[in-house]
Structure 1
Amino acid sequence: MARITAGIGTSHVPLLGRIIDIGESETEQWNPVFSGYDFTRQWIADEKPDVVILVYNDHATAFDMKLIPTFAIGCGEKYRPADEGFGARPVPEVQGSPDLAWHIAHSVIEQDFDLTIVNEMDVDHGLTVPLSLMFGQPEAWPCLVIPLAVNVLLYPAPNGRRCFNLGRAIARAVSSYDEDLNVQIWGTGGMSHQLLGERAGLINQAWDTAFMDQIVDRPEALAEIPQTEYIRETGTEGSEMVMWLVMRGALENKVTELHRHYHVPVSNTAIGHMVLKNDG
């Protein structure tokens, strides 16, 4: 049967994609950021996941004020990199896993989660930057990808408990799929940052560090944090971290932290990254 073997948490700062695209990731300025992914790039090359369920938020590319799904799963065969105003990133087209995606959609909906099923969409930096951070700039991405978009931009957004439980439902769905697949789930977004307003540039390193500590062995406590606390303590965009809880909910109760990276500042945000492996 298919199995979720590990989870990855990472920021998806759009500037990082630009730095990779222009070949400056190893410069003195940027090496402290990108070197924090050296471990993961080697580890994931050894692990060779067949499919990655990539939890991210769309940035008004596939969805806008006309249509705002709380949770949306991509069930298509492929997804083009989006043009976010400066042309599409020069990265490979994302290849989907429609059979597994449809199975997850069917199972999760039967577990009382209403997923919006998307068969055609472009994917923005929220999805392509994490792929570049883990895989570099290959001619083709080395695994299939199931996009799972979460609304964290517009009120009302799903709370941490809802996201954590969605992860639990996804884990049950994957484990009931007959094909033998090595599946990983990635939660993206965060860490603390606010892009606009009087608090633009807000970074709360203590809060971020506590979040990364607790996601390992106290994730259910994190799941109870209200959105108002995320916004107050980590900025309006810091609430993206609920997507890490989808990832953590899909893992077992006991996990091993294989790697952690945290760096500030990147643009006007903190960047966080973790690798968690199921103990089972």
Structure 2
Amino acid sequence: MARITHGIGCSHIPVLGFAFDQGKEGEDYFKPAFDGFEWTRDFLKQEKPDVIVLVYNDHASAFDMKFIPTFAIGCGETYQPADEGFGARPVPPVPGHADLAWHIAQSLILDEFDMTIINEMEVDHGLTVPLSMMYGHVDEWPVKVIPLAVNVVTYPPPSGNRCWALGEAIARAVESFPEDLNVQVWGTGGLSHQLQGPRAGLINREWDNGFLNRLIGDTQELRHVPHIEYLRETGSEGIEMVMWLIMRGALGKSTRALHRHYHVPVSNTALGHIVLEPVDGSVPPSPTLEGNNEAAQALIG
């Protein structure tokens, strides 16, 4: 069966994509940021994941104010980089894994998560910057990707508890897929930053590192951090950190950290990165999923 082997958290700061595309990784300003991903690049060459469930938020590239899904899953075969106003990033198209994506979508919906299914969409820096940080300059991505977009742009975003529970449901879905696949879940966005208003440029190093600490071990304290605390402590865009909780929820009861990187500032933003391994990968069972699957099979015949 498929299995979730690791979780990765990563900021998706757009200026890192610009620096990467322009070959500026070695410049004094950017080098400390990029150096923190060298360990992970070597790690991924050894691990060779087959599929990444990549949790990110769209920045008005695939969605706009006409429709704003809380959770959307990409079930297509491939995704083109989006033009975010300066032309599409010069990175390869992102290959999908439609079979696993559709399986996850069905499982999540039967597990009572109302997912929006997307068969065609372009993906922006929220998804492509983490891939560049982890894999470097490549002619094609060496892994298939299932995009999972979360609304953290327009109020109300989902709660941390709902995101954690979604991660648990994703783990149940992956574990029920019959093909032998090495799957990772990545949570992206954050850490503390605010892009506008009197607090523009806000960075809270202490809160950020406390957040990273609470991703490790068996604490579930982050499930219950309210929206207002993210807003107060980490700025208006710090709410993106709830997407990391989907990754953490997918790893089960307890985790250990294999690698960790934190650097400020990067374009007036905090850069966070962590690689987690499940210590006990078990996730709570879902009685609704079992019952709904039985009903679904009865309908299929």
Q: Could you tell me which residue of structure 2 aligns to residue 273 of structure 1?
A: 273
Q: Could you tell me which residue of structure 1 aligns to residue 196 of structure 2?
A: 196
Task: Tell me if structure 2 keeps the 8 A contact 1:219–1:248.
Answer: no
Q: Could you tell me which residue of structure 2 aligns to residue 43 of structure 1?
A: 43
Query: 1 CA distance for matches of 2:27 and 2:65?
Result: 39
Q: Could you tell me which residue of structure 2 aligns to residue 75 of structure 1?
A: 75
Q: Could you tell me which residue of structure 2 aligns to residue 84 of structure 1?
A: 84
Query: 2 CA distance for matches of 1:160 and 1:254?
Result: 17
Aligned structure 1 segments of 4 or more residues deviating by more than 2 angstroms = none
Residue 218 of structure 1, CA deviation? 4.8
Query: 1 CA distance for matches of 2:62 and 2:257?
Result: 33
Query: 2 CA distance for matches of 1:130 and 1:101?
Result: 20
Secondary structure of 2:158 counterpart = coil
Secondary structure of 2:36 counterpart = helix
Counterparts in 2 of 1:225-240, with a 5 A limit? 225-240=225-240
User: Which 10-residue stretch deviates more, 216-225 or 7-16?
Assistant: 216-225
Task: State the identity as a percent.
Answer: 64
In structure 2, list runs of 5 or more residues that go unmatched: 281-301
Task: Tell me if structure 1 keeps the 8 A contact 2:74–2:147.
Answer: yes
Query: 2 CA distance for matches of 1:234 and 1:189?
Result: 12
Task: Tell me if structure 2 keeps the 8 A contact 1:263–1:270.
Answer: yes
Q: Which has the larger radius of gyration?
A: 2
Query: 2 CA distance for matches of 1:194 and 1:30?
Result: 20
Q: Could you tell me which residue of structure 1 aligns to residue 53 of structure 2?
A: 53
Counterparts in 2 of 1:90-239, with a 5 A limit? 90-239=90-239
Query: 2 CA distance for matches of 1:252 and 1:162?
Result: 15
Residue 276 of structure 1, CA deviation? 0.2
Query: 2 CA distance for matches of 1:47 and 1:279?
Result: 17
Q: Would you say how many aligned residue pairs link Structure 1 and Structure 2?
A: 280
Q: What do the CA deviations read for 1:34-72 (whole angstroms, capped 9, x no partner)? A: 000010000011000000000000001100100100000
Residue 279 of structure 1, CA deviation? 2.5
Task: Tell me if structure 2 keeps the 8 A contact 1:161–1:224.
Answer: yes
User: Which 10-residue stretch deviates more, 144-153 or 28-37?
Assistant: 28-37
Task: Tell me if structure 2 keeps the 8 A contact 1:219–1:245.
Answer: no
In structure 1, list runs of 5 or more residues that go unmatched: none
Secondary structure of 2:215 counterpart = helix
Residue 217 of structure 1, CA deviation? 2.0
Residue 26 of structure 1, CA deviation? 1.5
Task: Calculate the aligned-residue CA RMSD, in Å.
Answer: 0.7
Aligned residue identity for 1:7? G
Query: 2 CA distance for matches of 1:219 and 1:196?
Result: 33
Tell me if 1:18 matches 2:22. no
Secondary structure of 1:130 counterpart = helix
TM, length-normalised to structure 2: 0.92
Secondary structure of 2:7 counterpart = strand
Query: 1 CA distance for matches of 2:223 and 2:240?
Result: 13
Secondary structure of 1:82 counterpart = coil
Q: What do the CA deviations read for 1:144-181 (whole angstroms, capped 9, x no partner)? A: 00000000010111010000000000000000000000
Query: 2 CA distance for matches of 1:115 and 1:86?
Result: 31
Residue 29 of structure 1, CA deviation? 2.1
Aligned residue identity for 2:29? Q
Query: 1 CA distance for matches of 2:149 and 2:158?
Result: 12
